[in-house]
Amino acid sequence: MALVVQKFGGSSLATPERVISAARRAIAQFQAGNQVVVVCSAQGDQTDQLINLAQQIHERPSPRELDMLKAVGEQMSIALMAIAIHKLAHEAISLTGAQAGIRTDSFHGKAKIKRIDTRRLQQELARGQIVIVAGFQGVDSEDNITTIGRGGSDPTAVALAAALGAERCDIFTDVDGVYTADPRIVPEARWIPRMDYDELLELSSLGAKVMQSRAVELAKRFGVALRVRSSFSDSEGTLVTDLSGEMEYVDVRAAALDLNEAKITIRHVPDQPGVAATIFSEIARANVNVDVIVQNVSERGLADVSFTVMKEDRLLALDVARGLAEKLGASGVESDENTAKVSVIGIGMRSHSGVAERMFRALADEQINILMISTSEIKISCVIEAPNGERALRAVHRAFQLDKDNSDRT
């Protein structure tokens, strides 16, 4: 008997009707002869409402207590989902993160899953129950409730699928799969039937809000097949697996635009060995994720070091950068929120050349200036000025003919 994990996001559970509709999907899998584990996020924008409640009392609530409060959202969802399945005359039982054996570290608000003790889960599955698990939460070694960070129900679902040896993990969301670009910006964007983990990974870190990177990484590491699909339609969604062994005719699978980055520059840093290490280890210590990094050596052994961070981390990163500038004898620090990042991704790039050239040409043809460039084996990103963002995305999408049907070529 195969096991399928289904994860429902907040919008998929926002109303009683939607909870019941999600319950039907769980039952359909069960009736198809599978064991079913359902992972639920908090309903709608409840997590934000809970944070707001706390902030009415304290602007900066303690992370432990905020986790205690936020965990409530998923606990409500799982109870309601179990009740909905009962209403539809099937057996179901809900389990909190703690009850489902999800053990994490103690980093409240950003905890990582360390292991899953699946005994209770196995036991309930063996009893013929559809098992509903609260996403986003676990407990640390002292049984304190932790949360796994924003969007943290995806990692929960994938980790459960891995721990239970699931055949597939269905991620139900409000989009009906992954597209070659955001259709709100690029109307001719196309649905992608299959893609590789690495491609989704790059896309997820590029502002295409399909899935959390951590969840995709986990899926890749444990070989969990993901299907990203819509709660609101019967489209088959996008199947995400390891395609690296397959013949591949597609160089670029998708393009993306990320408007959530801010650029920070430290001017005139003495260009000595170890300076970059000093800078970025200090920034990492502040728990700020750095994306693109560019270092230009200018005259007299001085370098400008620029990097991008998520906008919400900008002030924190600026603080750290200013301290560093003083310590290193740099001349100053600047920041720019008015940037965008346009990217193309595709594992086919590994075996196709000329992709970077084509991208730069597409931007140049639109008279769009490139501020920073970052490349990986399967991705090219250009940081540009924000007002050019959407135009750049459309130009790049066109240049790689992503609007053409290529499903027969995958």
3 binds its own copies (CB under 8 A): no
86 binds its own copies (CB under 8 A): yes
Q: Which of 1, 33, 126, 143 binds its own copies (CB under 8 A)?
A: 143
Q: Looking up tokens 């196709």, which residue turns up?
A: 352
Q: Which of 62, 338, 351, 407 binds its own copies (CB under 8 A)?
A: 62
The Cα–Cα gap between 312 and 301 comes to 33
Stretch that binds its own copies, among 106-114, 141-149, 352-360, 378-386 (CB under 8 A): 141-149
Q: Which of 27, 40, 66, 218 binds its own copies (CB under 8 A)?
A: 66
93 binds its own copies (CB under 8 A): yes
The Cα–Cα gap between 175 and 198 comes to 20
Minimum Å gap between C-beta 147 and its own copies is 12
Stretch that binds its own copies, among 48-56, 233-241, 290-298, 367-375 (CB under 8 A): 48-56
CB count in 10 Å sphere of residue 135: 31
Identity of the residue, 119 or 300, whose beta carbon is nearer to its own copies in the bound complex: 119
The helix (H) or strand (E) run that includes residue 47 is: helix 46-55
Query: Is residue 31 packed enough to be buried (19+ CB in 10 Å), middle (13-18) or exposed (0-12)?
Result: exposed
Spatial CB neighbours of 11, under 8 Å, sequence gap ≥ 6: 18, 44, 173, 174, 231
58 binds its own copies (CB under 8 A): yes
Beta bridge partners of 131: 37, 93
Minimum Å gap between C-beta 172 and its own copies is 18
144 binds its own copies (CB under 8 A): yes
The Cα–Cα gap between 298 and 86 comes to 69
Phi, psi of 87 (to 5 degrees): -55, -35
Q: Looking up tokens 């003790």, which residue turns up?
A: 117
DSSP 193: S
24 binds its own copies (CB under 8 A): no
384 binds its own copies (CB under 8 A): no
Is residue 237 within 8 Å of 227, Cβ to Cβ? yes
The Cα–Cα gap between 311 and 291 comes to 11
Is residue 405 within 8 Å of 190, Cβ to Cβ? yes
Beta bridge partners of 138: 146
Q: Which of 5, 13, 26, 98 binds its own copies (CB under 8 A)?
A: 98
Q: Which of 14, 51, 69, 302 binds its own copies (CB under 8 A)?
A: 69
Stretch that binds its own copies, among 64-72, 204-212, 235-243, 347-355 (CB under 8 A): 64-72
Work out whether strand 302-310 and strand 261-270 pair parallel, antiparallel, or are unpaired.
antiparallel
Beta strands in 174-314 (DSSP E): 178-179, 191-192, 194-196, 226-230, 238-241, 254-258, 261-270, 290-297, 302-310
The Cα–Cα gap between 367 and 375 comes to 21
Minimum Å gap between C-beta 148 and its own copies is 17
231 binds its own copies (CB under 8 A): no
Stretch that binds its own copies, among 71-79, 183-191, 281-289, 363-371 (CB under 8 A): 71-79
317 binds its own copies (CB under 8 A): no
Minimum Å gap between C-beta 49 and its own copies is 11
127 binds its own copies (CB under 8 A): no
Stretch that binds its own copies, among 4-12, 96-104, 179-187, 312-320 (CB under 8 A): 96-104
Alpha helical stretches, state H, 261-388: 275-285, 314-328, 355-365
Q: Which of 51, 83, 318, 356 binds its own copies (CB under 8 A)?
A: 83
The Cα–Cα gap between 63 and 69 comes to 10
Stretch that binds its own copies, among 93-101, 165-173, 323-331, 371-379 (CB under 8 A): 93-101
64 binds its own copies (CB under 8 A): yes
Distance from chain centroid for Cα 71: 20
Identity of the residue, 84 or 355, whose beta carbon is nearer to its own copies in the bound complex: 84
Identity of the residue, 23 or 330, whose beta carbon is nearer to its own copies in the bound complex: 23
Stretch that binds its own copies, among 58-66, 162-170, 246-254, 366-374 (CB under 8 A): 58-66
- Binding residues for its own copies, per CB under 8 A? 16, 19-20, 50, 53-54, 56-58, 61-62, 64-66, 68-69, 71-72, 75-76, 78-80, 82-84, 86-87, 93-94, 96, 98-99, 120, 143-145
